[in-house]
Every structure is written in structure tokens, then in C-alpha cells.
Amino acid sequence: MLTREANERLTRVGPGTPMGTLLRRYWHPIAASVELEKQPVKKVRVLGEDLVLYRDRSGNLGLIDEPCPHRRVSMEDGIPEQEGLRCPYHGWLFNHEGRCLEQPAEPWNSTFKDRVFTKAYRAQELGGLVFAYLGPEPAPLLPRYDLLVWDNVVRHIGVSVVPCNWVQCMENSLDPVHVEYLHGKFMEYVWSRRGRTLPADGGVRMRHEKIAFDLFPYGMIKRRVVRGKSEEDDGWTVGHPVIFPNILRVGVGPCNYGFQYRTPIDDTHTYHVAYGVYRPGIPVSPQEFIPYYDIPMRTEDGQPNLEVILVQDYHAWMSQGPIAQRDKEHLGQTDIGVIMYRELLAEQTARVEQGQEPMGLIHDPGENECIALPQETMPYDVRLNSRLTPSYGGARWDGQEAKYSPIMDQVRELFAAADARTETGGLLPYPDSPRHPVGDRHRAVQLLAPG
């Protein structure tokens, strides 16, 4: 448990708060690029700040304060110009650096515009997402994580706004054992209550024998031994990471991967991006646009959408309250990952307060060509047995959020084509996953007797 004061420090993200200051040192996704094709101006709220994201007619992105500095009309209704965004009320024009370029109605010889600025932040695109940086200069590089830059893959972006504090979402990612209940026994219960039978490969039926957590340069690695596996297997030797401070890596290599980004909208809302990547193992043409789709909290008949794994998580987080009361909780030994993550957040917050740089920032372009992250892999034959259809985190059954994606038919076709090629040989090689050794901040708990 934490004191109320520590909980405040852990969770609050607005300007000037300790955690808000730490989070402002990192890039965060705020939109899908394709959204700006339909509507070139999007109102966004990030870390408690109301902003507008726009693409001007030169194709450049801008991210500026939502109210116009003149008389506070919303720039959400602004007109994208060749350079910058023009306020709809009196036509003041602002560029992506926040400089005022024109004030059409002011006297012809006025120099007032040269003294008017609006708040402006950096925005950059990668892998179909628009990322924002709200921190001090010099900005670190926008990290080119493997899933964002690989070729021969298909991607999609599933988006939800979850009405709770971002730390609840993240703590869930350091809590491996919840999958046994929430996505196993609870899921079975929900399906049966709704008169449905969970498919044999639906839901999670693993038992954790041992869980462990390590630091690595980009965050924390989660390791586990599940019943039937050992410390020789990928789940332990490779694991998968939480990238500090707010990204979870999901999926099961070598075919199906994802990130879950948790961008704080404000203290009590989180922009959740389920970024899905499929690698069928055959050449894939680059997508013209990476599509995005909404992941609904409720089914069409108004019930909580609890048949879908990711939405089970959303509902668990939301039900903890807008900001979980950590002064009232009772942590067990299985919560060591949660505890370690909180300690890491506190430590990195203190570093920033002392004028030091927090972990994981990237400044070297050489390091940033493609940042390979650890990812446990399914044995190849398991993939073949599933007829190359991603069964976990994928497309085969309707307990996965990907069922809402507009491109799942295309994904199935690509895997069928890869399946056909398997018989004749010639699948593309899969990337090797880096392995990080067990480190000196390793923490482990043995949950079941070995064997």
C-alpha cells in the first residue's frame, strides 16, 4: 500500500506535478495518422493539457494550445493553411512553433503579431501513429521500436478512452497472474452466463509456477515459468517487456505482436492504443494507411463487453475507481511486479527532480534505427498447427479486440498465403529476439511447487 500523498505523487500528471514532469520527458501517441486524412484538425487532451493537432497544407504537423491567444476561441475549428493553422474568428495564423504569422484585421503597419505566441509542442509520425512530446528541449529522439518500423508486416491501431488513471492500466501489465482469473476463469464464467461456450483455445488456461521481473535499459522484463514449461523456455529466458514508463509489449512471436500504449489524457482518463502487428512470413506490400478502429466498452445490446479479453482489463481498471485508493489495498507476494514498477516510477521521478535524465531516452540516431525488444516466441510447429492463423492475440475467435479491425480478412488471407508457401518452403526469416540476462535487480516469486 501507499500513503495518500505517495499515491498523489504517483498518479497526477498535470503540468508541474512530479509525475507529469517525468512523463513529459517521453513521446506519447495521441492520434492515428489516418484520422487527419478525414479531418485535418483534431482536439486532443494530453497530460491534462487541451491542445489541437493539425496537418497543414504542406503536410506538416502542428500541436498547439486549443484556445486562440486572441480571444480564446477554439482552434479546433481552425483552417489549415500552407503553413500553420488559422483561427476561425479573426483569422490569426499560427505556425507549428506557436509563432503568430498573420493578424489580418490589425492595422497594416502593426507589429503586434511578432509579440504574440501560442503554446506549441513537437508532434511526429511513425508507424501510423502521431506522437507528441510535451517536455523540455532538447527533445529525445522518437523511439523507433521494432514493431513501428519492420517491413513485411501488416498493422492496425485499436483505440479506446478508458475512464481511469493511467497507472491502473500499467500496474495490470506488471501483474501476470491476473490472466489466470480475469482472462481464464472469469472469462469462462462470463461466456457461460451469456449462454456461450468458450472455444477450446479461447481464454487463458495457464498456471504460473514462477514469476520474475528484471530491469533492462528500456524498462522492465517480465519472466514466467508456466506449468509444463521450464527456465529453459522463452517465457523465462526472453520474457516480454514493459517499456518505461507506459508501454506494454504483447503478443506471441513470431507472427503476432503488439504494443499497448497508455497515454494519460488527464488524471482520470487514459488514451489506450492497442497497436497490432502481423508478420505472416511472406513479402507484404507497405500499407497505404494504417487503419484504426474503436474497441467498444459495451456490446450493441448495452452490456459490458466482457467477452473480449482487453475489455475485461479495461473494466477491471475502471472498477478500481477514477484513481485507485492505494492506501486501502493489501498487496501479496504476487504483486512484486507492481511494487517494483511503483519503485521505478518513484526513483525516476526523483532523478528528474534532481536534474538528471530519466531512463530509456534515446539521443543517438545509430541506436534508433530499429530498437529490437525482447519477445517470447511460440514454437514454430504450434504456429503451423494453428494453420498460421494467429490464435492468441489474433483473429480466430471473438474474444479478441482485433475482431473489430477492418483488416482482419486481409490478415487471414496473408496467413493462408504463407501457409501455402510453407509446404514449398521459402518463408522469410523471423527476427531474433534479444535476450537480456537475469540482472542484479531481479525479483522472483515461486508460486507453485516446481514440477
Cis before 67? omega within 30: no
Residues 206/187, Cβ–Cβ less than 8 Å = no
Residues 49/16, Cβ–Cβ less than 8 Å = no
Nearest to Fe ion of 49, 313 (CB atom)? 313
Inter-helix orientation angle 309-319/166-173, to 10°: 130
For ligand FES, the binding residue among 71, 185, 227, 441 (CB under 6 A) is 71
C-alpha–C-alpha distance, residues 30 and 388, integer Å: 32
189 phi and psi, to 5 degrees? Answer: -60, -45
Instruction: Give one DSSP letter per residue of 310-324, joined into a string.
Output: HHHHHHHHHHT-SS-
For Fe ion, the binding residue among 56, 175, 313, 401 (CB under 5 A) is 313
The binder of 313, among ligand FES, Fe ion, none, by C-beta within 5 to 8 A per type, is Fe ion
Using the rule CB under 5 A, give the single segment among 47-55, 253-261, 312-320, 433-441 that binds Fe ion: 312-320
68 touching ligand FES, by CB under 6 A = yes
Nearest distance in Å: CB 224, ligand FES: 55
Question: Count of CB atoms within 10 A of residue 217's CB?
Answer: 11
Nearest distance in Å: CB 73, ligand FES: 4
The binder of 225, among ligand FES, Fe ion, none, by C-beta within 5 to 8 A per type, is none
Q: Which three cell numbers stand for residue 253?
A: 512471436
The binder of 90, among ligand FES, Fe ion, none, by C-beta within 5 to 8 A per type, is ligand FES
The binder of 255, among Fe ion, ligand FES, none, by C-beta within 5 to 8 A per type, is none
Residues near 94 by beta carbon (within 8 Å), at least 6 away in sequence: 62, 64, 68, 75, 84, 85, 86, 87, 100, 101, 118, 120
307 touching Fe ion, by CB under 5 A = no
Q: Which of residues 80-99 bind ligand FES (CB under 6 A)?
A: 87, 89-92
The count of residues interacting with ligand FES (CB under 6 A) is 9
70 touching ligand FES, by CB under 6 A = yes
Strands 208-216 and 154-162: unpaired
Q: Which residues pair with 121 in a beta bridge?
A: 63
Residues 249/375, Cβ–Cβ less than 8 Å = yes
Residues 92-111: x/- map of binding to Fe ion (CB under 5 A)? Answer: --------------------
The binder of 65, among ligand FES, Fe ion, none, by C-beta within 5 to 8 A per type, is none
Residues 244/362, Cβ–Cβ less than 8 Å = no
Residues 266-305: x/- map of binding to Fe ion (CB under 5 A)? Answer: ----------------------------------------
Q: Side-chain half-sphere of 167: how many Cα atoms within 13 Å?
A: 27
Residues 75/52, Cβ–Cβ less than 8 Å = yes
Nearest to ligand FES of 70, 207 (CB atom)? 70
Nearest distance in Å: CB 164, ligand FES: 34
Using the rule CB under 5 A, give the single segment among 124-132, 157-165, 192-200, 310-318 that binds Fe ion: 310-318
Nearest distance in Å: CB 35, ligand FES: 24
Using the rule CB under 6 A, give the single segment among 67-75, 174-182, 322-330, 424-432 that binds ligand FES: 67-75
Query: Position of cell 508507424?
Result: 127
Nearest distance in Å: CB 97, ligand FES: 18
Nearest distance in Å: CB 77, ligand FES: 10
| Angle (CA) 270 274 277, round 5° | 160
| Angle (CA) 324 224 151, round 5° | 90
Nearest to ligand FES of 116, 416 (CB atom)? 116
401 touching Fe ion, by CB under 5 A = no
The site for ligand FES (CB under 6 A) is made up of: 68, 70-71, 73, 87, 89-92
